[in-house]
Amino acid sequence: MKQLFDALGYYKILTAEPSDDIAEIKRKYYERAKFWHPDHNEAANALEMFQKVSVAYDVLKDRPLRRQYDLLSLVYNAKNFPTLGSLKIYKNQAGKDDAALRVLRQRKVLPDIKGSRVAETKDICNFREAMKMVGRTSRANWFKGWWAPDAFWKNFAAIKYNFQAVKAEDNDNLQLLVHNAVAYGQENNIEMAWIYANQAYMLAEKLNYAEAQTQLTHYIQELNFHPQKAIKLPKWQAKELKIRQSIIPLILGALLLCFIGGKISSVYLPDGYFKLLEIDGQLMADDMVDTHLMRVDSNIHDKQYLYYLAKDSIIYHGPDVRYQQMTQGYEGQTVRLFGYTPDKKWFKVILDNGEMGFIQSSLLRKGIGHTVPFGSKVYKQ
């Protein structure tokens, strides 16, 4: 960051230094005022310079006002320097005081008469508001940003920029934190001024801005704020914002991996089909299976649909031996019919614990086998 110590040139016009004490500032003011006084100086700009010397002295002779000027000079230049003494406090998007504000920059690619353009937003917001904005921008980029060749590469650049921008560790954020530290101090809200000043100090430390650290240390000491209980400084969760931006590409990537690494096949039944998803050699059950079942009106008090296993048999998650094994059934185990495939080769049955699985109909016999255990979900007299 370009280091600014005298944004409006107040020290320069007095030929003073930021390290000068009040007595030295006063001495140099009298020197410059005498030199530029229109009664003694016939230069065309003498009156203008004399007035500038007086304005500079009015600020630098006042210790609190001088500190505010020094702090704001760290983050503003002459063109954008705010009105000293009446700073506007930056608030969240709901218009409320908020100790956890940051500047969030986001870019997205939009259609333009010439093809496409990159639009950049710059918002002051808290973390919750940032989460919503990041989500909206991410969806716009990933779902709407690829319509033309020139937009395609611009969109990649915008996504990369957004991913880095959520760190909120830049000059704009230092300006925001210093500004609010001074603005709350002017309003005599010492606690908020202290919180913002400490956040600004930590960011200046990350940006390796030594002069800002020095000025902020003095300001924090001058606030003379001693909280009665520990105050936890707000923390900007850049990692969570990055995760929010990564949700859509992760989903798209997972779908792409399934498409490339998985194999979709169809098993046809007399009145329809369902899909089997094979991943790494394992056949995974598809919820569409149940839409093709012929169901029966069975309840726990009805003997009509009770069956038992003719021998020890595997009960599967789906109507095919390639599905994953759900459990091992034993000879004589009583089950209740829930439904069957249209070709009646597979029955979906209810087990004692209430779980449901598939077993080949040829392995079942009508009626009750072994005694149904107490509390079973299969049958209750």
Q: If you average pLDDT over every residue of the chain, what do you get?
A: 86
User: In this prediction, what percent of the chain has a pLDDT beyond 70?
Assistant: 89
> Is 278 found in the same domain as 196?
no
Alpha carbon distances (Å) from 349 to 58, 316, 342: 90, 10, 15
**What are the DSSP E strand ranges found in the chain?**
102-112, 115-125, 262-269, 272-279, 282-284, 294-295, 306-309, 313-316, 325-329, 334-340, 346-350, 356-360, 364-366
Residues in the chain: 381
Q: Between 152 and 191, whose confidence is greater?
A: 191
Q: Are residues 258 and 274 in the same domain?
A: no
Is 307 within the bounds of a domain?
yes
Taking only the tens place, the pLDDT of each residue in 71-83 is: 999 999 999 999 9
What is residue 284's predicted lDDT score, i.e. its pLDDT?
Answer: 47
What is the mean pLDDT of the segment spanning 165-176? 93
**Which of the four pLDDT bands, split at 50, 70 and 90, describes residue 13?**
very high
Q: How close are the terminal C-alpha atoms of the chain, in Å?
A: 82
212 part of a folded domain: no
Q: Is the domain of 252 the same as that of 142?
A: yes
Confidence of residue 172 (pLDDT cuts 50, 70, 90): very high
Helix or strand holding residue 204 (H, E):
helix 190-206
Give me the pLDDT at residue 366, please.
Answer: 93
pLDDT recorded at residue 293: 76
pTM value > 0.75: no
- Same domain? 190 vs 277: no
Phi, psi dihedrals of residue 77, rounded to the nearest 5°? -110, -175
Same domain for 258 and 310, yes or no, is no
Q: pLDDT at position 261, please?
A: 59
Question: Would you say residue 96 lies in a domain?
Answer: yes
pLDDT digits (tens, 9 = 90+) for 83-104: 988 899 999 999 999 999 999 9
Q: Per-residue confidence at 342, pLDDT binned at 50, 70, 90?
A: confident
Instruction: Tell me, yes or no, whether 345 and 245 share the same domain.
Output: no
158 lies in the same domain as 239: yes
Per-residue pLDDT, 292: 66
Last residue of a domain, one of 240, 262, 284: 262
Q: Is the pLDDT of residue 149 over 50?
A: yes
Over residues 299-336, the pLDDT tens digits come to 888 888 999 999 999 998 888 887 778 899 999 999 99
Domain that holds residue 164: 82-202+230-262
Does position 270 have pLDDT exceeding 70, yes or no?
Answer: no
Cα 293 from Cα 300, distance rounded (Å): 20
Within a domain: residue 111? yes
In the structure encoding, which two tokens stand for residue 154, read together? 């611009």
CA–CA dist 265, 351 (Å, integer): 29
- DSSP code at position 323: B
Is 190 in the same domain as 328?
Answer: no
245 and 339, same domain (yes or no): no
For residue 203, give both structure tokens. Answer: 């960011």
8 has a pLDDT exceeding 50: yes
The number of folded domains in the chain is 2
pLDDT at 264: 40
Asked whether residue 277 falls in the same domain as residue 148, the answer is no
- 356 in a domain, yes or no? yes
Give per-residue burial for 219-246: e unless 16+ CB within 10 Å, then b: bbeebebeeeeeeeebebbbeebeebbe
211-258 residue pLDDT tens: 999 999 999 999 999 888 888 888 888 899 988 888 888 887 777 777
Q: How large is the average pLDDT for residues 192-198? A: 96
Cα-based distances in Å from 11 to 70, 271, 342, 362:
10, 90, 92, 98
Residue 4 pLDDT: 58
Q: Give a yes or no: residue 256 inside a domain.
A: yes
Higher local confidence (pLDDT), 201 or 264: 201
Q: Domain boundary residue among 262, 279, 313? A: 262
Of residues 268 and 213, more confidence is placed in 213
Confidence of residue 291 (pLDDT cuts 50, 70, 90): low
